[in-house]
Structure 1
Amino acid sequence: MFKLLPITLLYFIFSSLNAQSQKKTLQAKPTTENIIIDGRFNEEIWKTAAVASDFIMFEPDNGKPISPDKKTEVKILYDNNAIYISALLYDDEPDKIQKEITNRDIFGVSDHFSVYINGFNDGQQDFRFFVSAAGVQMDCIATEDFEDFSWDAIWDSQVTLTEFGWTVEMKIPYAALRFSKADKQIWGLNFMREIKRDVQKYTWNRIDTKIGAVIPQAGILQGIENIKTPTRLFLIPYSSAYYQQSAIGSGITLKAGLDIKYGINDSFTLDAILVPDFGQTKFDNAILYLEPFEQQLEENRPFFTEGTDLFNKGGLFYSRRIGGGSTTELLLDNQEEITNYPSTVNLLNAVKISGRTEKGLGIGFLNAVTEKTKATILNNDTGQIRKEVIEPLTNYNLFVVDQRFNQNSSVSFINANTTRNGDFRDANTSALLFDLNTKANTYSLYGDFKYSSIKTTEDYDGFKTEIGFAKTSGKYRYGFSGKYVSENYDINDLGINFYSNYHNAYANGSYRIVNPTKLFNTFRINQYVNFEIDNTSGKLQTGAFGTETKATTLNNDALEFVVEFSPLKTYDFYEPREYGKYVFLPEKVFAAVNFTSNDNNPFTLVLQPSFTKYNEKNRNVYGLYISPKYRFNDRLSITYILDYFNKTNDRGWVDSDPTGIIFAERSRETAQNDFTGKYAINNRMTVNLTARYYWSYSKNHKFLTLQNSGYLTPNNTYAQNKDRNFNSWNFDLSYSWWFAPGSEISVLYRNFGIERTDMVEKDLSANLKNIFNSDLTNVLSISIRYFIDYNVIKNKF
């Protein structure tokens, strides 16, 4: 194998394979006219601009030319402020154009037109701008691995429905793009049109789906010359007011702050938040969590979701660490109790700098500071109150350097650092990543090396490394990889990682169709094998063989079937909650089916039953996910989701006492109910409803003691009540109005509560009654954000 490695590397370096067809070229035309964005193209300059046409189907029938009755023509103008795009989208049945009104960045059931722009023409990253036939905007930063729709740019668009189809007019300021300082610009460019009722997508420059990479298959935009871009400085002041009422009392809170976006140059942008306010972000889903690891939460704060593609490289950044709860354990005397333990740590400020040069060098820097936080402790004998630091003043720092080359390859370095004031724990992690692809995007060689260092009462270091090879094009594809994670590898001060101290081998092979058949529009089958072995004991912790099949029918219903076999005995090294201990896991088989109906229909359904069978008597897991949705019209829709699990004879940790580690054989049942509704007044004003009721219980039947062999034996002396019953309720009713580009008024009414008990109640109506009789909290908030462009102010004065 090692003799072949130099040959493989030479192949990557000197490969001259190029399977791409001749790229189309479009000339942008300069203009001095004032272009009014109204979707009508009344300005004379549009008549003389070059036309991009002859679109080719991307999916499902890849390579098929667009029909004449769906002809699409696109033109581009430019001046010193922005580029302007006009699109004529012909349709022989204009009354069938889908045009559901949704929130920003939600595609919905609509036709769409989009432009993909790569200002460096390096085949690595697109800035993508979408407009639906209802006039709703969507935008993202896209790499081959990820589309980041949390990124929001400020741009203008307008659509018009006509007798021949529909039109789109767009103005994309240079501030929303990144490109070189060259006098003559050459950009990567592609347009995409989606005809929703037919579930078809077309692109201007053909994208061959037999090739794994999409971005390098863009066309070329030329003609933009000698532009003088304006200063990129944007201020977003905001003000919020909150009224909160609960059984404890009520009160009013006023907040104000400022977001700043500044273009350091044409490549790099600085984002900063001063006195942040995240009071209207989506609520976290509280659950009954009995796992050996912490619950991983979604990030809903805009600053940490927008434009963070660089910072997510290497998986070292879990942004919920910043401003999350403290994990400090307090030492209390027998007569003491904690009367106040803050659930979160206040974020004082945060700043990030990110961008990419014309030579493909991406740089990202993020820094955040959280405040010193204390818990309150009461001495019940003396009445004395003391404060104890649970989280010191903390600085979080992330630095990323990512060099792209040959349009589709990259090498990256990442450093994540957490520094706490005083004698608290500090941490540092560094990583080196590489992703090398042949010019024709047919093969990929990838890998990484990560090293963590923890400074605490007993310092320790650890590392993780991985290497993989994959065929990434054609109908038949395959890949294999190997991984080693040392015992003390720990990135959990700024990242999140659950498993360590193992080595892994993985391989897969897949087949797919690239054009429809008599049965399917799309079809893909993937088979894989995955082994993980504990480094210390040599015992198997994962041994799985799986098959995944995905297809869409000719009626555009989606089907998926997954089956995974674990035919070997394995061991769980984490459930015992004690270093060096492990528990035996029996053989098992898992199967799941997913059916998703064509969302062009007013009524749609997602149905996902699943089943896990263990090689133990009556030990099973039953799962059901069902989500019906009804779209009354283009403005109003409602969705219901039931996510249900039932675990029979489940086995898990409940306690550790002087007699040993105690497990329980138990029944677990979970039912999460979500109801969402949306009413769109227009494409900038919506009313949204989100309600969630979650109920879960764990009922122990008998207790067991973990033996050193990893097996469990009956324990007839343990008698503590470790049953759990958990109810959680969330209700959000919001109104949002984007009254100007980048400017929003939002009103939110929020009602929530949690009920925990060790008395299991299996009657659903009784649980509902209990949660609504608990201490529900009500919050009414109003927030105003206003986008200010420095150039507009400058021009006025």
Structure 2
Amino acid sequence: MHKSTYLPILFLFIFNFTANSQKKSLIAKSTTEIITIDGKFSENSWITNTEVATDFVMFEPDNGKQISADKKTDIKVLYDNEALYILAVMHDNAPEKIQKEVTKRDVFGVSDHFSVSINGFNDGQQDFRFYVSAAGVQMDCLATEDNEDFSWDGIWESKVGLTDFGWVVEMKIPYAALRFSNAQKQTWGLNFMREIKRDVQKYTWNRVDTKIGAVIAQEGTLEGIENIKPPIRLFFIPYTSAYYQEDDFTADRTVKAGLDIKYGISDSFTLDAILVPDFGQTKFDNAILNLEPFEQKLAENRPFFTEGTNLFNIGNIFYSRRIGGSPSTEPTIAANEEITKYPSSVDLINAVKVSGRTENGLGIGFLNGITEKTYATILNNDTKQTRKEVIQPLTNYNVLVFDQRFRQNSSISFVNTNTTQNGSFRDANVSALLFDLSTKANSYNLYGDFKYSAINDIEDYNGFKSSLNFAKTIGKYRYAFSGRYTSKEYDNNDLGINFYTNYYNFYTNLSYRILNPTKTFNTFKFFNEFSVLYDITTGKLQEGYYKPTIKATSKRNHYYELSFNISPFETFDFYEPRSYGRYLQVPKSIGGYLGVEFNRNNAFTFDFTPSFTKYDQGGRINYGLAIGPKYRVNDKFSVLLVIDYLHKKNDIGWVDFKNSDIIIANRNREILQNDLTGKYAINNKMTLNLTARYYWSYSDNQAFFTLQDNGDLSQNDTYTLNRNRNFNSWNFDLSYSWWFAPGSELSVLYRNYAQEGSRNVEKRLNTNLKNVFDSNMTNILSVSVRYFIDYNVIKNKF
């Protein structure tokens, strides 16, 4: 091709790249006027402010399409020494059709939404996002490219006004709810989003090109904020709670009081501390019949360990449920002794965390928790005397994080977790070095890690884990390649959770997606995954699969997902035998599922997911069905039921050790879980919430085998112990929540729960329900009040 031919092509490339990547800028105007957050924007400062963010562009589904004139959206921004003020005026050609379901905080529901995303360092790495629904409900989160943490709750004000031309939002976001440098002139990353729910459309002020994987790096900027002197960020959140608990044998009354403290060490760093913590009203854990070789991983529901913890989750070596979780050891008992009391959890004495980010992009996080010494009680059946034995000593937990961000899309991080136990109990230290590098145009991504664990126990040992990944992150066609290696001795389970070691793995992902709607689909993605995983010691294949997946949304906003998991090779399970060096042969298999979710905007909606896995082994098959009808009676009242059923026919699994033999069973299993949730919103600050869960599972052994050294099974006709299991679990929460002031909540909770298990399999559902309700049911009634106190308010009053 002649050189002159290249020039127009080069010009077009540069023009298109510049046009698509151009950042809009908005000037914030200073004000000394008192802005009343009432959704009416009657103040003179709003009227005289001529700086307007407008000309929104569709984010999805038709990326890049300009907003229509009848949906015109205009935003203005003011500021003073205390806060940022935002006014959004959103026109709508059918105001009566604006969706406005009332929900509790941080629940989106079927509503139109407006949001602002603010990056105080303009580094393209992390946003503070503040959402308001057309019903006036607040949602907020800390957002990175791969995560939105809605457990974080800021203290800010908003008010919605419904008008004959659309709707209006006024917001006041105190600087205490943000993080930014102490520069005299501020430049912040900024974007606004408007969601029109009935049309299933989202628009942003600064265009976010979906051809590019990074979203935060495509924000506009906010200029004009100068010489602000933010007030001291010091907040006290005292609480008091009262509990009445009873079961078939005892009754107990408890009153607790404590204090949370939040202190802004600087404009960028915050200290959070809890003194005398109380987690009595946190969501219940979903108890299951766990027959797997690994512990059940539990969700974290305690606010201190969920709010603003994105820094501590870097590297995935911190599992917060270790702090105040189950005791780490079991007592040693003689043949004539039995354990009469074994606490299920360890009490947390206090916890502190410090986190923030410098103006140069260095994020620093430190978390410390201390749990108390915990004992088990042991009864001597001969003498009838009891003794106590330490099962968890006084323990100190530390997490330290350094996360350096640069070039608005890349980072290098160091994370360390440390567990120190008093006395002769084991100590652990785990470190991780991570990197995440993207090209300037966010087209390609190289990321990886190196993790090292050091255990100080009766026998010290060290191990490591490493991975390297490369991905194309732009365009219709994308791909990723990954390699991982984990040594046998790698162990981060003192303050983390990790199941698999002693392997190396190769993984590939190839994908295709449409970037704009077609005649049939609003969205369409096709993924192809390939993975092989080998045991290091023996070289045997532990995992080998091909997994194609299609995810699509129709023009009517119905969602479909179809996936298959094809394992064409015999593999070897090194964990099911529960004995190091032993393994169980796993036959070839094919499985899959179809997920269908009908339009969530409808008053009645329904989803269902049938699934199956067929093994190349006589009669061994798994099949299941999950269904979830939801009915929204009106904007205040809705009910959702989820029924999840799984049948494992001729399942194979460990049941016992007999002398030197490993006993494996052929068994039939059924698992049924029912979840009912209901919500009645009295208003956007006050809700009644219902959560109920019934779980039933059994394991019915049909035949027993002895595991051979080569992974085969031989018939065992001499093993006759009853290793069947039948398990029922019931949980019921009915709560009333009232956010009576910013950051302040009154909550009343009635809870009852029970568990019932036996070695006798009962396959009649009505009998299982009767058994669990006839068991020792625990009933708890609790009242809790948390009140948010701003030091500056107190200071001004006195």
- 1:92 corresponds in structure 2 to 93
CA distance in 1, matches of 2:331, 2:270: 42
Spell out the pairing of 1:196-595 with structure 2 (5 A cutoff).
Answer: 196-595=197-596
Residues 739-778 of structure 1: pairs in structure 2 closer than 5 A: 739-778=740-779
> For 1:793, what is the secondary structure of its paired residue?
helix
Aligned 1:57-206 pairs, distance under 5 A = 57-206=58-207
Which AA in structure 2 matches 1:696? S
Partners of 2:676 and 2:448 lie apart in 1 by: 42
- Cα pair 2:120 2:179 within 8 Å, conserved: yes
Q: Secondary structure at the match of 2:629?
A: strand
Query: Cα RMSD (Å) of the superposition?
Result: 0.7
Q: Equivalent residue for 1:796?
A: 797
Query: Per-residue displacement from partner, 1:266-285 (whole Å, max 9, x unpaired)?
Result: 00000000000000000001
* 1:129 match: secondary structure: strand
Residues of 1 paired with 2:328 and 2:307: CA distance? 27
Instruction: Render the CA deviation track for 1:87-128: whole Å, top value 9, x for unaligned.
Output: 001001000000000010000000000000011111111100
Give the aligned partner of residue 780 of structure 2.
Answer: 779
1:327 Cα deviation after fit: 3.3
Please say if residues 18 and 439 of structure 1, whose CA atoms lie closer than 8 Å, have aligned partners that are also in contact.
no
CA contact (8 A) 1:120 1:188 kept: yes
Partner SS state of residue 323, structure 1: coil
Contact 1:547 1:562 in 2 (8 A): yes
Amino acid at match of 1:267: S
**Do 1:191 and 1:205's aligned partners in 2 also have CA atoms closer than 8 Å?**
yes
User: C-alpha offsets along residues 678-722 of structure 1, whole Å, 9 cap, x if unaligned?
Assistant: 000000000001111110000000001000000111100000000
**By how many angstroms is 1:19 displaced?**
8.1
CA distance in 2, matches of 1:737, 1:238: 14
Letter in 1 for 2:340: T
The CA distance in 1 between the partners of 2:505 and 2:381, in whole Å, is 53
Where has structure 1 moved over 3 Å in runs of 4 or more? Answer: 17-20
In the alignment, is the contact (CA less than 8 A) between 1:18 and 1:440 conserved in 2? no
Distance 2:596 2:686 in 1: 33
Structure 1 gaps, min length 5: 1-16
Quick one: which amino acid aligns to residue 508 of structure 1? N
The equivalent residue for 2:35 is 35
Partners of 2:555 and 2:220 in 1: how far apart? 30
Give, in angstroms, the shift of residue 220 of structure 1: 0.9
Aligned to 2:5: none
1:155-180 deviation line (CA, Å, top 9, x unaligned): 00000110000000000000000111
2:675·2:691 contact (CA, 8 Å) conserved in 1? yes
Conservation of the 8 A alpha-carbon contact between 2:37 and 2:171: yes
The residue matched to 1:320 in structure 2 has which SS?
helix
> Matches of 2:249 and 2:498 in 1, distance apart?
38
Q: Secondary structure at the match of 1:649?
A: strand
Secondary structure of 1:795's partner?
helix
Q: TM-score, normalised by structure 2?
A: 0.97
3-state SS, counterpart of residue 768 of structure 2? helix
CA contact under 8 A between 2:665 and 2:705: conserved in structure 1?
yes
> Counterpart amino acid of 1:383?
K
Q: 2-side partners of 1:355 and 1:554: how far apart? A: 43
For the 8 Å contact 1:453–1:461, the answer to whether it is kept is yes
Q: How far 1:18 sits from its partner (Å)?
A: 7.3
Counterpart residue type for residue 733 of structure 1: L
**Which amino acid is the alignment partner of residue 314 of structure 1?**
G
Structure 2: distance between partners of 1:312 and 1:415: 11
- Three-state SS of the structure 2 residue aligned to 1:216 is helix
Shift of 1:756: 0.7
| Alpha-carbon contact 2:331-2:376 (below 8 Å) kept | no
- 8 Å Cα contact 1:354/1:362 also seen in 2: yes
Q: Deviation string for 1:735-785 (max 9, x for gaps)?
A: 000000000000000010000100000000001111111000000000000
In 1, are the aligned partners of 2:331 and 2:390 still within 8 Å (CA)?
A: no
Please state how far the C-alpha of 1:249 moved relative to its aligned partner.
1.1
Task: Tell me how far 1:21 sits from its aligned partner.
Answer: 2.3
Amino acid at match of 1:510: S
The DSSP-based 3-state class of the residue aligned with 1:355 is strand
Verify the 8 A CA contact 2:577 2:584 in the aligned structure 1: yes
1:632 is aligned to: 633
Inter-partner Cα distance in structure 2 for 1:613 and 1:215:
43
Q: Which residue identity does 1:423 align to in structure 2?
A: S
Distance 1:115 1:215 in 2: 12
Is the CA contact 1:20–1:440 (under 8 Å) kept in the aligned structure 2?
A: no
Once the two structures are TM-superposed, the CA of residue 329 in structure 1 deviates from its matched residue by 2.4
1:188-242 CA-partner distances (Å, limit 9, x unpaired):
1000000000110000000000000000100011010100000000000000000
Q: What is the alpha-carbon distance in structure 2 between the residues aligned to residue 36 and residue 795 of structure 1?
A: 19
Secondary structure of the corresponding residue to residue 688 of structure 2: strand
CA distance in 2, matches of 1:386, 1:349: 28
Residue of structure 2 equivalent to 1:718? 719
Residue 262 of structure 1 aligns with an amino acid whose one-letter code is Y
The letter of the residue matching 1:44 is: N
Provide the rounded CA distance (Å) in 2 between the counterparts of 1:775 and 1:22. Answer: 65
Q: Which residue of 2 aligns with 1:13?
A: none
Q: CA offsets per residue over residues 572-598 of structure 1, 9 Å max, x none?
A: 000000000000000001111110111
Whether the 8 Å CA contact 1:696–1:727 is kept in 2: the answer is yes
- Is the aligned partner of 1:707 residue 2:708? yes
CA distance in 1, matches of 2:21, 2:341: 66
Q: Counterparts of 1:396 and 1:222 in 2: how far apart (Å)?
A: 42
- State how 1:553-702 maps to structure 2 within 5 Å: 553-702=554-703
SS in structure 2 at match of 1:767: helix
In the alignment, residue 458 of structure 1 is paired with which amino acid?
A: E
**Do the aligned partners of 1:20 and 1:217 also contact (CA within 8 Å) in 2?**
no
Task: State the secondary structure of the residue aligned to 2:296.
Answer: coil
Tell me: CA distance 1:486–1:18, structure 2 relative to 1, closer, same or farther (3 Å). farther
- Partners of 2:321 and 2:328 lie apart in 1 by 13
Cross-structure match for 1:6: none
Residues 45-64 of structure 1 mapped to structure 2, 5 A cutoff: 45-49=45-49, 50-64=51-65
Distance 1:735 1:602 in 2: 24
Q: Which residue identity does 2:573 align to in structure 1?
A: D
AA partner of residue 734 (structure 1) = S
Q: How many residues align?
A: 781
Over 3 Å counting, the alpha-carbon distance change for 1:433 and 1:19 in structure 2 is farther
Whole-angstrom distance in 2 between the partners of 1:155 and 1:767: 48
Q: Over residues 288-308 of structure 1, what are the superposed CA-to-partner deviations in whole Å (9 max), with x where a residue is unaligned?
A: 000000000000000000000
Unmatched tracts of structure 2, length 5 or more: 1-16
Q: Is the 8 A contact 2:465 2:485 kept in 1?
A: yes
Question: In the alignment, residue 621 of structure 2 is paired with which amino acid?
Answer: N
Once residues 25 and 329 of structure 1 are traced to their aligned partners in structure 2, the CA distance between those partners, rounded to angstroms, is 61
Inter-partner Cα distance in structure 1 for 2:518 and 2:359? 43
Asked if structure 2 preserves the Cα contact closer than 8 Å seen for 1:246 and 1:775, the reply is: yes
For 1:505 and 1:373, the matched residues in 2 are separated by 43
> Which string of whole-angstrom CA distances, capped at 9 and with x for unpartnered residues, describes residues 14-41 of structure 1?
xxx9784211111100000000000000
Letter in 2 for 1:749: Y
SS in structure 1 of the partner of residue 45 of structure 2: helix
Query: In 2 relative to 1, CA 415–18 (structure 1 residues): closer, same or farther, beyond 3 Å?
Result: farther
- The one-letter code sitting in structure 2 at the alignment partner of 1:72 is T
**Equivalent residues of 1:19, 1:440 under 8 A apart:** no
CA distance, structure 1, for counterparts of residue 687 and residue 619 of structure 2: 49
